[in-house]
């Protein structure tokens, strides 16, 4: 029997790349998909008002090769979120994720993100209307709590409310969000991680598919969390800055769908060329793609040279694929010289 879209998304959620503003755009997602066929990818957060009131449907665009990919929405108005969910589903997204974790002042001012963890009745209404609006699976991404909440009490109550709405998949960033006094960047690092609390939530809510997010920097760490009993792991900055290190063995080690890791990083760099050519033909700039590829060779010989030369290439407004090909040839020659020196 062929897996339906929801089953595929749930399976892929064993390892996912976090939605990150200004980072996980469609070009980044195509690049990540070149490295792993299985991981679940997320869009940047798209606000419901931008879609419903602003008509910014271009924000929903994605390429078929990105699948499985999920749409993350921000908002607090149940009717706007219902309409945005329907638009997302019509564009081909099988999962619509509600952001209840972002702590930024800008997001708070629109009553989006983590501030909604203090308004469970609003969240309940939003989730119910989103599920009524389409057949797409509705999921949640939240924190363990905000500000002075006693998370051992508030988080179970919040998850219980979510479960009663019929939502079955929740991503938990294992840190509190401090809505006052910490910047978004500080909120990603300063509040302590509480992985044990998230694991206890899985034991308390066995019917929920719980994904752990926050501070996971290496694939073996993700494997350890899965072996401990969690259903999924979401990796953010590490997957962006060291994509090959994180994603190249995911299909083999996390999903068991392949006995071999992804092609070598050099091959990935070459496989991006047709996509680059198509993007330039549509009037795009090379840098819009290559800016996501700085970490491709992280930890490998020549990584610093790659980053420097890719940065120089990105600064050229009219850079062409031919320039990128020359960079690949330059890198190959550099590695060849290094091998010859090592042999001597």
Task: Write out the DSSP string of 205-233.
Answer: -TTSEEEEESS--SHHHHHHHHHHT-SEE
C-alpha distances in angstroms, 183 versus 143, 191, 212, 232? 15, 11, 22, 27
| Bridge partner residues of 170 (DSSP) | 140, 210
Cα–Cα nearest to 99, from 66, 127, 136: 127
Q: What distance in Å separates the CA atoms of residue 175 and residue 188, rounded to the nearest whole number?
A: 8
Sheet with 169-177: strands ordered across = 15-17, 232-235, 209-213, 169-177, 137-146, 95-100, 69-74, 41-47
Query: Which of these is catalytic: 28, 102, 126, 142?
Result: 102
Residue with tokens 């019917």: 207
Beta-carbon neighbour count of residue 304 at 10 Å?
10
Q: What torsion, rounded to 10 degrees, do the Cα atoms 336, 340, 343, 344 define?
A: -160
Q: What distance in Å separates the CA atoms of residue 219 and residue 156, rounded to the nearest whole number?
A: 28
28 given a catalytic annotation: no
What residues are labeled active site? 102
């Amino acid at each position: 029997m062929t897996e339906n879209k929801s089953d595929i998304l749930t399976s892929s959620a064993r390892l996912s790349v976090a939605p990150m503003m200004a980072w996980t755009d469609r070009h980044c997602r195509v690049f990540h998909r070149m490295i792993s066929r299985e991981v679940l990818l997320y869009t940047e957060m798209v606000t419901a008002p931008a879609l419903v009131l602003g008509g910014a449907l271009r924000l929903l665009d994605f390429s078929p090769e990105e699948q499985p990919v999920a749409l993350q929405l921000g908002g607090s108005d149940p009717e706007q979120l219902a309409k945005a969910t329907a638009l997302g589903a019509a564009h081909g997204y099988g999962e619509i994720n509600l952001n209840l974790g972002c702590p930024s002042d800008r997001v708070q001012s629109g009553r989006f993100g983590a501030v909604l963890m203090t308004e469970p009745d609003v969240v309940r209404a939003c989730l119910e209307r989103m599920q009524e609006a389409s057949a797409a699976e509705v999921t949640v991404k939240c924190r363990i709590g905000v500000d002075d909440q006693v998370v051992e009490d508030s988080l179970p109550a919040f998850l219980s409310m979510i479960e009663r709405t019929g939502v079955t998949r929740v991503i938990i960033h294992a840190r509190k969000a401090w809505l006052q006094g910490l910047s978004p960047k500080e909120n990603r690092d300063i509040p302590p991680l509480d992985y044990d609390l998230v694991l206890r939530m899985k034991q308390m809510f066995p019917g929920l598919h719980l994904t752990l997010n926050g501070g996971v920097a290496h694939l073996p760490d993700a494997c350890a969390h899965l072996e401990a009993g969690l259903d999924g792991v979401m990796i953010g900055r590490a997957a962006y800055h060291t994509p090959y290190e994180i994603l190249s063995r995911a299909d083999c080690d996390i999903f068991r769908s392949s006995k071999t890791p992804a092609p070598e990083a050099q091959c990935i760099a070459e496989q991006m060329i047709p996509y680059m050519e198509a993007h330039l033909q549509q009037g795009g700039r090379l840098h819009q793609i290559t800016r996501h590829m700085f970490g491709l060779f992280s930890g490998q010989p020549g990584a610093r040279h790659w980053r420097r030369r890719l940065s120089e290439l990105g600064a050229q407004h009219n850079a062409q694929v031919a320039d990128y090909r020359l960079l690949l040839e330059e890198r190959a020659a550099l590695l060849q010289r290094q091998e010859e020196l090592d042999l001597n």
